Structures are given as C-alpha cells and as structure tokens.
Amino acid sequence: MLEYDFMQNAFIASGIVALVAGVAGFFLVLRGQTFAGHALSHVGFAGATGAVLLGLPPLWGLILVTLLGGITMGAMEARLQGSDIAIGTVLSLALGLGMLFLHFFTAYATQATALLFGNVLGVSSDILWTLAALGALCLLALAAISRPLVFASLQPELAEAKGVSLRMVSILFLAIVALATAECIQIVGVLLVFTLTVGPAATAQKLTTHLARGVLLSAILALAEAWLGIAMAYYTDWPSSFWITTFSATAYLLVAARDKLPGLPRPAIAPR
C-alpha cells in the first residue's frame, strides 16, 4: 500500500490534519461551538468556488474566506451564542452561494464534489506542504493562547474579572478553528468536517476528565480514525471519507453506550 506516492501523501496529509483537528476540536466541543465550526466549512466552500470563478486557486479562496468567517464569528460570539437559527442561516446561505458560483463555472463540478466529500487520495505534494505549514501554524497558535483559552472556556466570568478579553480569545480561537477546518475539507470534505473536528473530541471528553489527557486522546483518536479509514479505502475501494466517518461515529456511539450502563461514572471536564 505504501509503495504508491499518492498513498504516502494521503497518510501524511491525513496525519497532519487529524492532529490539528483533534486538538482544536477538543476546545471547540469544550466551548460548545461545534455548530459554528460546521458553519465555517460551508463558508469555506463558498470561498473556494468563488475563487475559481475569479480564476484563483480554490485552496487559497477556501483558506481566506474561512479565516475571515472565523474572525467574524469570534467577534460576534456574544450575539451568536446559543443562536442556532442565526448560525444555521449563515451556513445555508454560504452553501447556496457556493452552488451559485458553480452554476456560472460548471467545469469545476468534479472538483466541487471533492470539496463536498473530500479526496485525500488526490493530495499533491504542493498541497501537502501547504497543509504542513497551516498545521504547524495552528498548533503553535493554540499553544500560545492555551492558558487564556482554557481559563475562558471553563470559567468565563472569573476569567473576564481577571482581565482576560473573552472577545479576543474567541476571535483568535475561531480563526485557528477556521484554518483547521480548511485543512479538514481537503480530507473529508465540507459536509463531513464534524468527523474529525467533533467526533474524536466528543469521544475523548467522555473517556477522561483530565484536560491534557483529553487533548492528547482526541488527537490520537483522530489520527487512528483517519489512517484506518484510508487503509480500509485502499483494500475495499470504498470512499475514504465513508470509512473515516464510520470509525469516528462508531467510537463515539460505543463510548456513549458505555456511559448509559448503570453504575459507571460520567466524566466531565473540570478546572485543574
């Protein structure tokens, strides 16, 4: 399997993206912003298709528009918090714009399918370097804001009283999530971003109450699901996105079912 260059690229690309998605996704779930993260993927789809319509590389349109969307959502967090209707409207509008742009540029339909459902086996060496740079940037940025991010996520009122700017933390965090989302789209597509950003993180938070162990476990689960999904796609000729999604959902459902058994503790992240 690893004798082929495209398979090597697929494993490297999915590994980079899975690690970033697992770490960023953990805090996304912890902060209750999973729906906002999903909306960012649809915003990115509009950016990618719009870039093609303008004759620009779709990846850079995806990254730029998703990043702007993350910054905007972070700045408006207080207004959007708990407002699934507002976020859902943005999500639907972004997807609709993407389809409109495709209407004017039908030659891009095949690549649009890859954006919607992912195509990890088609990752080129150039895109691989871009994913590596974005992944390193995301992890370094998360490390830089980790202390105020944890404080603001677990005890927002106390953090604000101590002088932490909740709005700035939100802007920086959702900007990082936007970049992570742009990476995930290359692997599992717009419609399945939840697979890597939410599934492993939600599973990890059901398995441990320790913050550091939870982040590490989320990253390991995302990595395992991505690599197993690609391996199964190679041997079955079924889509890798299907397998990755299946492993992610199965892991979460098994842990959720275990939590419903009588007498078992139900972990919850708490300040350390």
For residues 60 and 263, the model is more confident at 60
With bands split at pLDDT 50, 70 and 90, how would you rate the model's confidence at 143?
Answer: very high
Lowest mean pLDDT among 19-33, 67-81, 161-175: 67-81
Q: What is the 3-state secondary structure (H, E, C) of the chain?
A: CCCCHHHHHHHHHHHHHHHHHHHHHHHHHHCCCHHHHHHHHHHHHHHHHHHHHCCCCHHHHHHHHHHHHHHHHHHCHHHHCCCHHHHHHHHHHHHHHHHHHHHHCHHHHHHHHHHHHCCHHHCCHHHHHHHHHHHHHHHHHHHHCHHHHHHHHHCHHHHHHCCCCHHHHHHHHHHHHHHHHHHHHHHHCHHHCHHHHCHHHHHHHHHCCCHHHHHHHHHHHHHHHHHHHHHHHHHHCCCHHHHHHHHHHHHHHHHHHHHCCCCCCCCCCCCC
Residue 269 banded pLDDT, cuts 50, 70, 90: low
Q: Please say if the pLDDT value at position 80 is more than 60.
A: no
Q: Convert the pLDDT of each residue in 181-217 to its tens digit.
A: 888 777 777 667 778 888 899 999 999 888 889 999 9
- On the question of pLDDT at 83 being above 80, the answer is no
For residues 249-262, give the mean pLDDT.
83
> In this predicted model, what pLDDT tens digit does every residue of 8-22 receive, in sequence order?
988 998 899 899 989
> What was the pLDDT predicted at 139?
93
Q: Is residue 84's pLDDT more than 90? A: no
| pTM (2 d.p.) | 0.81
Provide the CATH topology of domain 5-191: ABC transporter involved in vitamin B12 uptake, BtuC (1.10.3470)
What percent of the chain is modeled with pLDDT above 90? 23
Percentage of the chain modeled with pLDDT above 70? 82
Residue 157 has pLDDT above 80, yes or no: yes
How far apart, in whole angstroms, are the C-alpha atoms of residue 177 and residue 24? 6
Q: Provide the pLDDT for residue 189.
A: 72
Please check whether residue 22 is in contact with residue 201, taking contact to mean a CB–CB distance below 8 angstroms: yes
